[in-house]
Chains A and B, each alone.
Chain A
Amino acid sequence: MDAKKIFEKYYSRLALEGFLKALILGLIFGFAAEFIVAFATWMASYNGLWISIAAGVAVAAGMTALFYFKKFRPTAKQIAKRVDRLGLEERLITMTELEGDDSYIALRQREDAQKKMREVEAKEIKLRLSKLAIAFAAVFMALGVSMTTVTGLAASGEISGGDDFFEQVFPEPPVYFEVTYIADEGGEILENADQVVLKGDDALPVLAVADEGYMFKGWSDELEKNDPDYVPDPARTDTNIQESLTVHAEFAPVQEGNGGGGGQSGENDKPQDEQDGDGDQPNDAPSDGQSGGQNGDSQQQEGQQGQDGQPGQEPGQDGDGAGGSYQENNQIWDGETYYRALLEEYLKKAQEYLENNQDLPPELRDIIDAYFDIIE
C-alpha cells in the first residue's frame, strides 16, 4: 500500500517527524564521532579541528539518512496507527490490512474509515520526539563542540596538547630503585654503598677500597662477563638506573713476598694452581686471566705501562710492595692502597671547577677528602 497516496494528508507531517527523529539520532552519532576524532587528534598533538568537524558532519548525515530510511520513514501501517490514536478506533489499521479485499464488508469498512479520516486534520497529529533523545543529543553536542574547540586551541598553541595535559593532570608516580654496592672480604665501599635512586637518574659515584694485604679484583657484574680486556676500576658511577642493582666489589689477597719481579710471581702461581685444582679459592685468582695477567704477565703489562707513559713509579720499584705487580689501579705504597690515576682524574676535574670559579660538587669533594683521610 502506498502510504504517500492514501495518507497523503498526514504523510508529510509524519515524514517530518520521522526525519526529526532520525536527525536527533544522527546528531548524537555525529557529535560522538566529532568528539572521538577531536580527542584523538588532541592526544596526538595534531591539528584536528577540520578533520573532527568533517567527521562529525559526515557521520551525522550518514546516520540520519540510515535511520530515516531504515526506521523512521512512515509506512502506511504506522500512519494508520498514529491517526487511529486520535479516536478512530482502529479503523485505519483494519483498512490497511483489508487492502485488496473487495468484499462488501471490506468496502464498507474502507468507506467508514475514510469518512472518519476526513474529519482528522494533519495538524491534530502532534509531533512526538523523545525528550531523552533530545537530551542525549544536547549532551553529545556539548561534548563534541567542546572537544573540537580544545583541539583547535591546542593546535594554535593556546593550550597544551593532550599528552602534556594528561602528564600534568595525572603525573606518573615516582619509581625508586635500590642500588647497593657490597664490599666482599678484603675491602670496603667508600661512601654511598646503599642508595635509593629515582628511575632514570644516575647513582652517586662509589669507590671500592681494598684493605691492607688485598687488592681490588673487580665489580661482580663486570667479572661475570669474563671479558679478557676488562680493566678493573674501583670507581664506579651507574647511570640511567632502570632497575634495582646489587653489585659486589670483589677483592683478592696480595701474595706476600712476591713484590717486584712479576715473572717470579707468575712462576710461583703456577704450582699453586696445580695444588688447588678447583680454582675457587682466592689464591686461584691468577687462573681467571685477570689476576693471572697481574702475576704472570707482569712484564708485558709493565711494557704497556711504559708505553702509556703513566706517571709515577717504575714497575721495578713496585716489586717490594705488599704484593702483586704494578697496575694503574692497584698501587701499593707504604702498606696503603694508592689510587694515583684516580686521584689525578679527580684532581683534574677539581681543577677544571676551580679554573671556572665554580664550587666543587659535594660528591667530588667527599671523594677527595676521603681519599686523603685514607692516606693520612
Chain B
Amino acid sequence: MVTEANIEKFSKQCKDIFEQLGRDMIGQKDVIEGTVIAMIAGGNVLLEGVPGVGKTRLVRSLGRVFNLPFSRIQFTPDLMPADVTGTNIIVKDENGNSSFDFQPGPIFSNIILADEINRATPKTQSALLEAMQEHTVTVMGVSRKLKEPFFVLATQNPIEQDGTYPLPEAQMDRFMLKLIVPNPGLEDLLQIVNMTQVTMAEVAEAACNGDDLLEMRKTANQIPVADEVMRYAMTLCAATHPDGECASEAAKKYVRLGASPRAGQALISTAKVKALMAGRFNVSYGDVNDLAYPVLRHRIKMNFEAIAERVSPDDVIKLIIEEVGKKLKVSAFTKAPRVSKEEIVEEEAGTEQEQAEPAEETSEKPRRGLFKKKSK
C-alpha cells in the first residue's frame, strides 16, 4: 500500500540520486535517467557507446549512489562461465577430509558491470542468462539466489567488431533498456576536462540503499495506467512484428523479428517510473513514446533490406510510433506537456542554482525527449 510517505520518499530519493550522479557525471542526462529508471523498474541495462564516454564510470557511480556492492567483470574471449558464476573447489578441513566448497564468482553482487560483454564467447555470455532473468545461479546442480536488488549493467562497443560475439536474441531480450551513450558535447567536454584535472576520483555519495530501491520499485508499480495508454503501448510492441495482426508497414518492410512480450512489460514498468519521477501519478502517451526507443531498439531484428538501406532500429521505431499514433488517434495527445506557472518558477529557480553551481546538477524535473532516436 502506497502512502504519502512513500511518494515523498520516492521524490526525494530521485532528486538525491540525480544530484549525486551529477557530481560524477557531466552531461549524459538521458543515459543517467534511463539507467536509473531501469534500476528502479528492476531491469538490466545495456550501454552501447564508443570507449571513453563514461560508461564504466556511470556504473561505478551508480554503485556508490545506491550504496550497493559492485562487481566488475571484464569480458574477454578466454573468460569462462565459472569465472562469472563461481565454482566448487576441493578444500580440506582440519582433519584432512576433502569436500567441495562453493567459491562465488563476481556475479554474487548487487550491481554487475559486464564490461565489453560482446567480447566473451556465447558460452560465457549465456552464463548470465539465468542470473539476469531469475536472479539465481545454478552451479553443479545447486541453485543459489542472488542478493536483491540485482542488476547487470553491460557495456559494448559498437565500432570494433573484430573478435566479438554479438549477443544472442535471448540475452538481448533480458536487457530492459539499451541506451546509446553519445559523445559529449563541447560544453560537457569542457566541464569533464576541468573536473578531471582536479581529481579523477568519484565523489558521489550514497543517496539510498538497496532496500530503498526496492521500496521505490514497489511505489512506482502502483502508478495506474489508463486502458487506452496500455493498449497503445502494447500495440506499439505488437506492431514490431512483421507477420502479426497489428504489423506496421515499417515492420513489414524492415523487420525480420519483432519484440517479445518482455518488451511490453518493460515498456509499462519503465513508463510508470518515468511518470512518477516527473511527479505524475499516471502514465502518459509521451512516457510510452519516450521509452519505446530504449525498450525496443535491441529487441527488433532488422532484415536485409533495412541493412542495405541503412535503416536503423530507431528509424523503424519512429515510423511505428507515427503509424500507430495515427491509427489509434494518439498523435493529438502527445503534445508538449502543459507547464503551470508554479513549475515555471521552480524551473527558473533551478536554472539559477545550476548556473551558480555547475558541478552539482539537479534533475528535479525530467524533461521531454530524453530518449531521442539515434541518428543514422
Contact = CB atoms under 8 A, between A and B. Distances in A.
B337 A87 contact: yes
A86 B284 CA distance: 13
Nearest to A84: B333
Contacts of A90: 226, 228-229, 282-285, 333
A145 interface: no
A103 to B, nearest CB: 7
Contacts of A93: 226, 228-229
Nearest to B276: A105
Given A93-B229, A97-B227, A105-B222, A86 B332 contact: no
Residue of B229, B282, B333, B339 most packed against chain A (CB within 10 A): B282
Contacts of B227: 97
Residue of B227, B332, B338 most packed against chain A (CB within 10 A): B338
A309 B286 CA distance: 116
A41 B361 CA distance: 81
B333 A109 contact: no
Q: Determine chain B's interface SS by DSSP, over half rule.
A: loop
Interface in A98-138: 98, 101, 103-106, 108-109, 112-113, 116, 119-120
B338 A112 contact: no
B333 A91 contact: no
Interface string B128-160: 000000000000000000000000000000000
B1 A94 contact: no
B2 interface: yes
A90 B225 CA distance: 9
A236 interface: no
A113 B282 CA distance: 9
Contacts of B3: 104
A275 to B, nearest CB: 96
B371 interface: no
B349 interface: no
A234 to B, nearest CB: 86
Contact of B333 (A85, A97, A113, A120): A85
B268 to A, nearest CB: 14
B226 A112 contact: no
B335 A85 contact: yes
Interface in B212-234: 222-229
Contacts of A84: 333
Residue of B223, B281, B286, B337 most packed against chain A (CB within 10 A): B281
B340 A116 contact: yes
Contacts of B94: none
A105 B229 contact: no
B338 A120 contact: yes
B340 A109 contact: no
Nearest to B329: A81
Contacts of A104: 1-4, 7
Contacts of A116: 338, 340
A75 to B, nearest CB: 14
Contacts of B340: 116, 119
A94 B275 CA distance: 13
Nearest to B4: A104
A116 B341 CA distance: 11
Residue of A101, A103, A104, A106 most packed against chain B (CB within 10 A): A104
Contact of A87 (B1, B225, B279, B335): B335
A290 B224 CA distance: 108
Nearest to B228: A93
A119 B342 CA distance: 11
Given A109-B282, A119-B340, A94 B2 contact: no
A90 to B, nearest CB: 4
A105 B224 CA distance: 8
Contact of A119 (B222, B332, B338): B338
Nearest to B336: A87
Contacts of B228: 90, 93
14 contacts: A84-B333, A87-B336, A88-B338, A90-B228, A90-B229, A90-B284, A90-B285, A91-B280, A94-B225, A94-B281, A105-B2, A106-B224, A108-B4, A108-B7
Q: Which 9 A-B pairs have the closest CB atoms?
A: A87-B338, A94-B282, A109-B281, A89-B284, A94-B226, A90-B284, A93-B226, A105-B222, A105-B2
Given A93-B226, A93-B228, A97-B227, 7 more contacts: A97-B226, A98-B224, A103-B2, A106-B224, A108-B4, A109-B224, A119-B338
